[in-house]
Each structure stands twice: as C-alpha cells, then as structure tokens.
Amino acid sequence: MQSILLSWFFHHSLRRWLPLLAGGLLCGLATVSQAAQPAPGCGVYSNSQLGEIHVLSPDLMQRRVKDSTPELLHYQRVDSRLKVFNLDLGIGDAYTLLDDGRAIDTGMDFVYTLTRPLSCQPPMPAATSVAGQACWQDLEACGQNSIQASDKDLRDMCADRLWFACTRLFAGEPAAWLQSALAAGPLPKPLPADRLEEAAQICLKGMSGAVCKEAANVNWDAGRYLQARALLRHACAAPLADTTACLAAEGMASLTGTALAAPVPAGLPRGRFRSDTGLARDITFDDSGQVTGFAGLVMQARLEHGLIHMRHNQGGDFILRRVGEGTLIGLDMWNRLSVYEAQSDSPER
C-alpha cells in the first residue's frame, strides 16, 4: 500500500510548494535584447502526454499541464535557450528551443511542438513600484527572498504582476499546514476578514489561476465556502481556464447558504460518501464509526468540537464537517475544497 506521504508528494494542493525547495539550485535570468534575440512565435505548443504551452506575448507564456493549475511564466531568449521564471511560484528554470523555434524542450526530453500560431499580445508593462522594479531586476533572488518581504512590498510586487508575491501575501506559511497534517495538530488559524477580501479581489482583478486557487483555499479555511466556490468559478472561466478549479467548483454545486447555516447534525454519518477531488475520494462509515475505502486504510472516526476526525497512518487527521444528512466537506490540508456526497447505497441518518 502506497503511504499517504507519497500521495502527498503528488497531491495538487501541496505540489506548488515542492519546487521552492529546489529554487536555490536554478540559474538566474539573463537580460537579453528581444530585438536582437527574437522570442519563439506566439501560439499553442502541444505535447500529447503532458499538455500545452501557450506563448502569449514576447515575454509571457502559460504552461497548462494536464490535471494541474495553469502556470504563468516570464521568459527571455539567450541563443537557443529560454531563461524562464515561474511568476506563480517564484522560481526559475531553463528551456531549450528546437527546430528554429517551432518546438520547446522543457527538460527530460519533454518537447512541446507548435500546433497553432496565434497573434501576440503586448509585452508585460513595466513595474511602477520601487519593490516591483527591484524584483524584476533580479527575479530569481526576489523569489527566494520574498518570504522575508514586508506586506507593503508584497502588495507592491503583486500589483506589478509578480503573482507569487500575491500568494505570499495571504497564503500564510505552508509549514503550519504540514505540521497539522502530519502531527494531528489544530487547523491553522483563519486569516482575518479584511485579508480574505483582499485575497478575493486580487484573484478577480488578476490573471493567475494559482492566485485564485490560493484565495479560494484561504476563504474555505475561514468557513467562507460559497465565496471560495465563486473564486473557483472565476478561475475556471476564460481567460484563466483552470480545469482543476472547474472540477472543484462543480463538486460544490450542492452547497447552499441555508444548509451551511443550519445546525450540524449530531453523531457520525453512516454509509458511503464520494468526492471527485481531495485525497480521500471514496470513504465508507460503518455503524461503529469505522471508516474504510481510502488506500486500504481502516480508520476510526471520532467527533471533536462537532467535526469528524479520522487518524491516518502518518499521525495526522483527516477532518470533515457534516452539512445536512448527506454531505461532508473537507477541512484538512489533504481534502481542502472537497465536498463528499452520500451515495445511493448509503443509509439515511
């Protein structure tokens, strides 16, 4: 049986943080004249196994890996290489141009080939704030040091389209979530209301699907479930077109303000519940509170402060909340933004 820790490694809500560990190993961006070194042509570059890269403008592309949130990349050409900086994650990379710029190798022989030329959008506008200008001068160092930046500098960088700074501003420290997930600690404290609203506005006014997903996360953590759904629906729509946000928003379709405001049903649920997102996709509660169905685990459910806790084999808890008689919502790190619905073979409670 594959351990939960390995499942976490590939889990979408944590996957975004893993490249940060390797950020210091990646080379910095070089400054090259776009006039002297033409960029690859704008258009859609496809890989049948992985997804697409959309070259949007002379300095911006979007990578759409299957089953992942699209990522925005700033790029500069140096000879046959592209120096790339992930504006959503704050880390650098290097790609190789092939076939006179009609193909892009992202490493490990993962090649994307131009399949549909498109008109170019204008280049990204210049930064206007002092912090933003300094960051654009050395993106790699800025990404590494942003965890120490002040809220004011993060806001200024965020306004200058450095989207990793937006996420830093309101997403908090991922280590707190990891500690809760692996050591059965309390859920991290929600952000205050003004910061939650700020996160929502940054999502709605920007162009980063990653920022919208993080804004949905923090609103969900604070019990603002319908607001989180609205942000996911925004990220699902064009031009962000985040298919993972679409899937999560669709799973929340049954949630209503009335149901969420009603008293939480007493006791543990019974029967089988399923979600199309989250880590514990299909779980069954028996009459004694024993839970089965996830990766072969057998867990014992218990109630703590009205919430369902299930201890997994890494020492932390899956945490669910009941909504009415037939719905559960995920609150822990593994199952954020997930809604579980009772299946037809589930008994009434």
- Which one-letter amino acid corresponds to residue 166? C
Q: Which amino acid is at 150?
A: S
In this model, does residue 31 exceed pLDDT 70?
A: no
Whether this model's pTM surpasses 0.95: no
Do 53 and 71 touch, CB atoms closer than 8 A? no
Consecutive H or E run containing 18? helix 18-21
Structure confidence at residue 187 (pLDDT): 80
Spatial neighbors of 230 by CB under 8 A, at least 6 apart, are none
**Residues 278/338, Cβ–Cβ less than 8 Å:** yes
pLDDT on residue 185:
62
Q: Is 70 exceeded by the pLDDT of residue 23?
A: no
Name residues whose C-beta falls within 8 Å of residue 24's C-beta, 6 or more positions apart in sequence.
144
Give the three-state DSSP class for 122: coil
* Burial (CB count within 10 angstroms: exposed 0-12, middle 13-18, buried 19+), residue 178: middle
Asked if residues 312 and 301 have their Cβ atoms less than 8 Å apart, the reply is: no
Q: Is residue 182 within 8 Å of residue 315, measured between CB atoms?
A: yes
Pairing between β-strand 81-86 and β-strand 307-311 as defined by DSSP bridges:
unpaired
DSSP state of 325: T
Check residue 333 and give its pLDDT: 86
Task: Say what angle helices 209-221 and 163-171 make with each other, to 10 degrees.
Answer: 10
Question: Residue 261: which residues within 8 A CB-CB, separation 6 or more?
Answer: none
Find, among 180, 252, 181, 213, the residue nearest to 16 by Cα. Answer: 213
Render pLDDT for 121-157 as a digit per residue (tens, 0 to 9): 999 999 999 999 999 999 999 999 998 999 999 999 9
- Each residue of 306-321: pLDDT tens digit? 999 998 888 888 999 9
Asked whether residue 305 carries a pLDDT value surpassing 70, the answer given is yes
Residue 132 CB coordination number (10 Å) = 22
**pLDDT value of position 10:** 35
Residue 335 has pLDDT above 80, yes or no: yes
- Helices 151-159 and 163-171: crossing angle in degrees, nearest 10, is 140
What token pair was written down for 214? Answer: 């993080």
* Structure confidence at residue 347 (pLDDT): 56
Place 279 in a pLDDT band, splitting at 50, 70 and 90: confident
pLDDT tens digit sequence for 155-209 = 999 999 999 999 999 876 555 556 655 665 668 789 999 999 999 999 999 999 9
Per-residue pLDDT at 222 exceeds 80: yes
Strands of the chain (E only): list them. 43-47, 51-57, 60-65, 71-78, 81-86, 91-98, 103-105, 111-117, 271-274, 282-285, 290-292, 298-304, 307-311, 317-323, 327-330, 339-342
Does the pLDDT of residue 16 top 90, yes or no? no
Q: From the centroid of its chain, how far is CA 77?
A: 28
Separation CA 329–CA 341 (nearest Å): 9
User: Tens of pLDDT along 83-104?
Assistant: 999 999 999 999 999 998 999 9
Structure tokens at 50: 């992985």
